[in-house]
Each structure stands twice: as C-alpha cells, then as structure tokens.
Amino acid sequence: MMKKNALITGNSSGLGRGLSEILLAHGYRVFGCSRRGCDLVGDIVDIRCDLRDMDGIAANLERLLDGVERLQLVVLNAGMLGEIKHISKTSLDELRRIMDVNLWPNKVILDWLLESRIRIDQIVLISSGAAVLGNKGWGGYALSKSALNMLGRLYAHEFQGTHIASIAPGLIASSMMDYLCTEADSDEFPALQRLKSAREEGVVLSPIEGAERILEALPRLREFESGSYIDLRQILAPDEYQALIEARNRA
C-alpha cells in the first residue's frame, strides 16, 4: 500500500515534534521544516528554514517536497507567542514580528500548495483558544491566531477538494507553556492563573498526547464546513471547553 505523506511546519519541538513522532508511528512519511531541525529518525525528510524569510519559502518547499504527488495531511503548526502584555503597550513592530511567523508565512505556503500539482486531502492550521477568547494580555498572539482562522476560511473557497480547518489544540506542554506559567505576570493577567492551575493539576497534555488527540480528531474535523475554526475541547472534552469559556478573564 502507498505510504501517506504529511507536511508539518515547526516540527523541531513541542506539538510539531509530537505530531511528527505520532505520524511516523502511524506509517506516514513526514516532511518537516523549522530553524533548529527535527531530531527524529525514520521516514522523515526535514529541512532547516526560517519561515520569516518569506521570499525563500517557495524554494524551500520545492526542495522539501520534490517528487511528492499527494499530501494526505498538511499541518501549519509553526508559531510564536510573543510577550504577554497590555495591547496598548505593544508596539506595531512587536505585532508585526508575531504576524511574520504566525500568519504571513502560512499565506505564502498555502499559495505555493495551491499552485503546486500536489493533491492535498486535509489542511490543519494550528490556531489557539486565544483566537476567540480575547483575554487580557494576549494581544499580538490573539490577533495573529484570529487572523489565521480567517485565512483558513478564505482559502477554503479556493482549495477545491481539500478540507481546511483551524484548530485550537488545547493546552500542550512546550516552551510556550513554560513561559506562560513561569515568566509572565499572572497577577496582572488572570488568564495565566488558569494555565498554572492546569499545569499543577496535570491536565496539560504532553506533545505526544496533544498530537494523538489531533490525529483522533482528523475525521471529525471533516464533518465541519471547510474553513471552520474548531476548538478540539469543544468536540472531545466539552466540559473542559465550557469551563474555559466561563473562566474568560477571571482568575
């Protein structure tokens, strides 16, 4: 049987690395990119690239996906958090820096994929609950993920035969979570207290658990209209999702 192929951006650490590991274990050939590179072994093709170099993305994808005719899965996962701070104290330069990782490279990648002759079954954009919650302090990140959701919705009109979903994956242990739980000011920004409690209670998923949850949800995502934003907790852990909505902006 033909192997399935998956493209994952940002697979050197955290969720992207976890996804690469799980997909390799499920028999996929994984194509990945990041600045540091991925340390996994097996059927993985991996290149180092900085997605902020948007003029270089086409050449990097041509190199990475040379000869690939079909991608059963594309996960646009690479992202950065930025500093948790008041939006009024956040400069345009800081906002641009976040958009230059979380948003615009994904547009360039989607354009390249659309133009390529590669048949693509499913595209998942890794968004965040922050895209809709609007909690104090999440400025640049929330704006970028909210715009990412709309990017997915707009591209759904143009990707015929490909299902697109933007997903909030839930809480995953990663360098982002480390920063949120240890460095950012949880007195000033109360939503951080919920994250700290979640970490203390052990309900933050490991990257592997988060990746398994995404893999499990893939068929269910296709039940939603292409271009939809779906918080995985909404469909896989409704009680957790309800608590998240109710806790909005509270400690």
Ligand X SMILES: NC(=O)c1ccc[n+]([C@@H]2O[C@H](COP(=O)([O-])OP(=O)(O)OC[C@H]3O[C@@H](n4cnc5c(N)ncnc54)[C@H](OP(=O)(O)O)[C@@H]3O)[C@@H](O)[C@H]2O)c1
> What is the binding site for ligand X (CB under 6 A)?
10-16, 34-36, 50-52, 77-80, 101, 126, 128, 168-169, 171-172, 174-177
CB of 161 to ligand X, least distance (A): 26
Q: Among residues 2 and 169, whose Cβ is nearest to ligand X?
A: 169
CB of 119 to ligand X, least distance (A): 25
Q: Among residues 5 and 128, whose Cβ is nearest to ligand X?
A: 128
C-alpha closest to that of 94 among 138, 129, 60, 124 = 138
Residue least distant from ligand X (Cβ): 14
CB of 176 to ligand X, least distance (A): 4
CB of 52 to ligand X, least distance (A): 5
Q: Among residues 71 and 198, whose Cβ is nearest to ligand X?
A: 198
CB of 53 to ligand X, least distance (A): 8
CB of 135 to ligand X, least distance (A): 13
Q: Among residues 63 and 157, whose Cβ is nearest to ligand X?
A: 63
Task: Tell me the C-alpha distance between 189 and 136, whole Å.
Answer: 6
3-state secondary structure string across the chain = CCCEEEEEECCCCHHHHHHHHHHHHCCEEEEEEECCCCCCCCCEEEEECCCCCHHHHHHHHHHHCCCCCEECEEEECCCCCCCCECHHHCCHHHHHHHHHHHCHHHHHHHHHHHHCCCEECEEEEECCCHHHHCCCCEHHHHHHHHHHHHHHHHHHCCCCCCEEEEEECCCECCHHHHHHHHCCCCCCCCHHHHHHHHHHCCCCECHHHHHHHHHHHHHHHCCCCCCEEEEHHHHHCHHHHHHHHHCCCCC
Q: How far is CA 209 from CA 188, 190, 234, 247, in A?
A: 31, 26, 17, 24
Task: Find where tokens 């299902």 sit.
Answer: 163
CB of 170 to ligand X, least distance (A): 7
Q: Among residues 77 and 226, whose Cβ is nearest to ligand X?
A: 77
Q: Among residues 70 and 233, whose Cβ is nearest to ligand X?
A: 233
Q: Among residues 23 and 177, whose Cβ is nearest to ligand X?
A: 177
